[in-house]
Amino acid sequence: MDGKHILIVGSGSVGKRHARNLAALGCRISGMDPRADRREEMASEVKLVAAFASEQEAYAAAKYDGVVIASPPHVHVRQTVQALEAGCPVLLEKPVCPDLKGARALQEAAKRTKAPLLMGYTWRWWPPLADVRRLLDEKAVGAIHHVQFHMSAHLADWHPWERYQDFFMAQREQGGGALLDESHWIDLMLWLFGMPKEVSGKIDKISTLEITSDDNVDLLFTYEDGPRVTMHLDLYGRPHEKFIRFVGADGTIFWSADPNQLSVGRTAAAEWDKTAYRCERNDMFVAVAKEFLAAIDGAPVKTCNLDDGVNVLRVIEAARAASSENRAAAIGD
């Protein structure tokens, strides 16, 4: 217990989770949220050094060992630059921000300030997916020809304590929507296979959800020397499903979140070699928190950095162009 003082900017769902985990790892926590009810909720879950209604008050009151940015995406860049300029290492929740221009501006600011930044694409810390990566490296089912990413989860089920219409996810201008918020899956594609050559597809709002953001994403990615990748993301599906299917020359690897399982099949019949996992969702956030604390102590950021977050936005920018202009779009620099 070395009592690092961490400021959590945004005391909503994931902000409170980071607060609980970092407090359990021995940190002293302060919170910032414009909403009094959110500050009170965080204070009821962890003992706070202080709770602030604005960043100005927070930075005037103390010097922090680290800052977690857990606010809606449209304020991420401004708040992250502010933390870096105060000399604080940052854990930045995904996505970096709603567009590539903002992400590039943050990249420049981060180069200037040199404080470490860990990006919160948390599925990179999920043990079954680390096993998938190892199996792909070992060519366990040969060269991969096709990958199917599938994520479907009705938005009204995400935060049962509030109306989904009031959640930032419903608002396009706050950085909500399937493409930005579920960019976890784009990040995993980049983590597993690197940058694709081009993308085509559609990003739409097609359900009756009362939101201004997109709720349906269907994309096709092609690689110079790699698999075809199809990706479906939606905010209206029930039951919720998250899975990735990797079809190789010698068989298939199938990962699913629920059941928490990894299966490998190599025969024509449905004979799967299954591995069941016991890890729980919070485990990946604890692993992120541990890497953040190590980065504060000077360890290199190793699992996910700002460039990784910017690369996701390069793909998003190309996907938006492909969808609006009805064409295949190259992934730009």
- For binding to ligand NAD (CB under 6 A), which residues are involved? 9-15, 32-35, 38, 70-73, 75, 93-94, 120, 122, 167-168, 181
Nearer of residues 91 and 132 to ligand NAD, judged by Cβ: 91
Q: Which is nearer to ligand NAD, 266 or 290 (CB)?
A: 290
Shortest Å, Cβ 273 to ligand NAD: 29
* Closest approach of ligand NAD to the CB of residue 83, in Å: 12
**Helix 281-296 vs helix 13-24: angle between axes, to the nearest 10 degrees?**
60
Q: How far is the CB of 8 from ligand NAD (least distance, A)?
A: 9
Does residue 95 have a cis bond before it (omega within 30 degrees)? yes
Residues 6+ apart with CB under 8 A from 44: none
User: Least separation, in Å, of the C-beta of 262 and ligand NAD?
Assistant: 20
CA distances from 183 to 176, 222, 297, 308 (A): 11, 17, 29, 11
Is 224 within 8 Å of 197 (Cβ atoms)? yes
Structure token digits, residue 23: 């407090």
Nearer to ligand NAD, 153 or 247 (CB): 153
- Render 176-224 in DSSP notation, one character per residue: -SHHHHTTHHHHHHHHHH---SEEEEEEE--SS---SS--EEEEEEE-T
Going from the C-alpha of 159 to that of each of 126, 208, 238, the distances in angstroms are 22, 18, 15
Nearest to 191 by CA among 324, 319, 315: 315
Q: Which is nearer to ligand NAD, 35 or 63 (CB)?
A: 35
Pairing verdict, β 90-93 and 117-120: parallel
Q: How far is the CB of 248 from ligand NAD (least distance, A)?
A: 28
54 or 275: whose CB is closer to ligand NAD? 54
- Provide the minimum distance between the beta carbon of 167 and ligand NAD in the complex, in angstroms, as a whole number: 5
Nearer to ligand NAD among residue 215 and residue 263 (C-beta): 215
Contacts of 316 (CB under 8 A, 6+ apart): 95, 99, 100, 179, 180, 183, 186
Quick one: 48 or 247, whose CB is closer to ligand NAD?
Answer: 48
- Locate 162 and state its tokens: 């509030």
Q: Which residue's CB atom is positioned nearest to ligand NAD?
A: 12
Smallest distance, Å, CB 21 to ligand NAD?
A: 12
β-strand partners of 261: 256, 276
